[in-house]
Amino acid sequence: MSCSRCERLPAGRRCARCALSDQLAAALDDGSGRVNPALVPLFAALTSMAKPKAGLIWLRNPKVPELLGDLASGRIPLTHEALHAVASWRTAAYLRDLLMTCGVLPTIDKQLAHYETLLHRRLADLADAGSPHLRLLRQFAVWYQLPRLRAKAQARPLTPSHRQFASDQLTQAHGLLGWLAARGHTLAQATQADLDAWHATTTTTSGDASARFCAGRCALAACPGSSCRRCWSAGPRRSPSTAGWSCSASCSPTRTARCAPAWPPA
């Protein structure tokens, strides 16, 4: 049997490139019988790949044509934010790279995109579990972590270490809040003695003491009622005093009112 389009004879079957073209056309159909116009660059890039059999192997994963179909039909918007929420995050991450390479999506830092996806999943899990710490952790991530990661990404590409450090920070901030709750304290009520006890009794999977320090300091940044940069940057100090640890101790209402907000409120 010869291929009607490329006149090759692939052992009684269509050639790999034609098979890939047909499968992609079906997956990227927007409901009109044609490839979604926004995804034509992706279709062109994939059908012209040097090894079309690799494309066919990729499409054997049922999650791939499902995601392609959702994007083509509009069930999932063609945006970075929508891809953050895709359950099959590995599939979405690889497809995101392809879409950026083809110019379908704007180029963003790869490690930043990975962390935003991870953050979306972790906050969603906390919401599903009804965690009492969800609001503080969201503030910590959105007001503190993401602006800093984005600023670094503008200067130079982030590395996997940047992403992992941010993930460790969030884990330790969550652990700190849970640890304080077990002692009957909220973050606003925490003292320097609490911080010293936290450091003395808590270990991290990374074993990085600086990550624990930063997590304790930055979790404090989300303390309700404090939008003061002085509070946010002061950090915990190894001292019997509570200054620099409790927002209520380090900033009076009058002083806080005079300080500019650290980030726009959520």
Largest CA distance in the chain: 85
Q: Return the H-helix or E-strand segment holding 253.
A: helix 253-258
What is the Cα–Cα distance from 165 to 176, expressed in whole angstroms?
16
φ, ψ of residue 7 to 5 degrees: the values are 55, 35
Which residue, among 75, 83, 63, 72, has the nearest Cα to 27 in the 3D structure? 72
Predicted confidence (pLDDT) at residue 241 exceeds the cutoff of 60: no
Predicted confidence (pLDDT) at residue 2 exceeds the cutoff of 60: no
Q: Which residues pair with 228 in a beta bridge?
A: 261
How does residue 78 score in pLDDT terms, banded at 50, 70 and 90? very high
CA 234 to chain centre: 27
- Residues 251-262 have a mean pLDDT of 32
Cβ neighbours of residue 101 closer than 8 Å, sequence gap 6 or more = 45
For 4-14, the pLDDT digits (tens) are: 555 554 455 67
For 168-219, the pLDDT digits (tens) are: 888 888 888 888 888 888 887 877 787 778 777 766 544 444 344 444 454 4
- Residues 141-162 have a mean pLDDT of 89
How does residue 16 score in pLDDT terms, banded at 50, 70 and 90? confident
On whether the pTM is more than 0.85, the answer is: no
Q: Domain boundaries in the chain?
A: 16-76, 210-220+231-266
